[in-house]
Structure 1
Amino acid sequence: MENQTVSQGKTAAIISHFWVIGLIIAFVLNMNKRNPFTSFYIRQMLGLNILQLLNGWIIYKYLGNIAGWIVGVLLFVLWIISLIAAIKGEKKLVPVVGEQFQNLFKGI
């Protein structure tokens, strides 16, 4: 990826990692002048936020607190991996589900 594209989109990509509010802010920042680097991380974080929401609604409710806690820790690890890659300026998919997020939300 072009170095200028990364440097222009890096701040919004990092902001997108800070829960739903950061995701909304990054989406708004990226609306007018779409940056591929920022869009990549918006798609990653949208997917992780949806999984976190489903974890709270479904896993905790039907499989119990321990299963929900384990899934929550795994999602947190994926979030850390993504945040570190965004800070470094690398376009790195989160393991297991990153490719699916890119395909599901390719319109963003």
Structure 2
Amino acid sequence: MNKDPQGKPIALLAYASAVFLYVHLMLFIAVLGVAILLNFNKNQPFAAFHHRQMLGIACIAFLITAFGSILPSGWIAFVLISLIFLMAILGFADAYKNQTTPLPYIGEQFQKWFTFIK
């Protein structure tokens, strides 16, 4: 039986914040922020990896929300946000299975961009 890595509950909390993205943006920011603060200076690479992934998802979701009204059809923004939500579910599943697999297409970039999360 695999022993859970340090910080697994905190990593799962970060992905759970994606659920709140559909509820209210401020609640989403609060839950993700709490997850990042709980891992601050704890040297838990597993949790830090998943926080970087979720912060990247959050940034993309904010961009889609901010510029979604520019798109001629509202359904395009809905589809993009749904894809972002699906990525959050993939990340949650990886964290639950004790894996550190980057998200498809953009996960490696998130690891490079958000190196300040340790």
Tell me the TM-score normalized by structure 2: 0.81
Who is 2:20 aligned against? none
Structure 1 stretches of 4+ with a deviation exceeding 6 A read none
Who is 1:13 aligned against? 11
Deviation at 1:32, TM superposition (A): 2.9
Deviation at 1:10, TM superposition (A): 0.4
Deviation at 1:23, TM superposition (A): 1.7
Deviation at 1:7, TM superposition (A): 2.3
> 1:6-26: CA deviations, max 9, x gaps?
522101100111132232112
> Which ranges of structure 2 fall in alignment gaps of 5 or more residues?
18-27
Q: Between Structure 1 and Structure 2, how many residues are aligned?
A: 104
What is the identity, as a one-letter code, of the residue corresponding to 1:56?
A: T
Paired-residue identity, %:
33
> 1:49-103: CA deviations, max 9, x gaps?
1111111111x21113111011011111111100100111110111011011100
Higher relative contact order (CA 8 A, sep 6+): 2
Measure, in 2, the Cα distance between the counterparts of 1:10 and 1:22. Answer: 15
Who is 1:36 aligned against? 45
What is the identity, as a one-letter code, of the residue corresponding to 2:69?
A: K
Who is 2:70 aligned against? 62
Measure, in 2, the Cα distance between the counterparts of 1:92 and 1:69. Answer: 26
**Greater helix percent: which structure?**
1
Measure, in 2, the Cα distance between the counterparts of 1:98 and 1:69. Answer: 21
